[in-house]
Amino acid sequence: MERSKSGALSMVNPRAAAIDIGSTMHMAAINPNADDNPVRAFGTFTGDLHDMARWFKT
């Protein structure tokens, strides 16, 4: 995010996502305007990562 002249953060890339990678779960976040539930937790197994990838694609 970049700061505008007023000091507020402005969106740079609305299609970007964030992932906090942990040992037991990964937290993922997308643009709040893109989904009713923009922050989700996923497990660390392969199937969980595929679920996260499908969510990002939608």
Mean pLDDT, the chain, as a whole number?
A: 91
Tell me the pTM.
0.78
Alpha carbons 56 and 58: distance in angstroms, whole number: 5
**Cβ atoms of residues 48 and 42 within 8 Å:** yes
Alpha helix stretches (DSSP H) within the chain: 46-57
The pLDDT value recorded for residue 7 is: 74
Domain boundaries, the chain: 15-57
The pLDDT value recorded for residue 9 is: 82
The pLDDT value recorded for residue 1 is: 52
Burial class (CB in 10 A: 0-12, 13-18, 19+), 28: buried
The pLDDT value recorded for residue 52 is: 97
Residue ranges in the chain whose pLDDT is less than 50: none
The pLDDT value recorded for residue 3 is: 58
The DSSP code for 33 is T
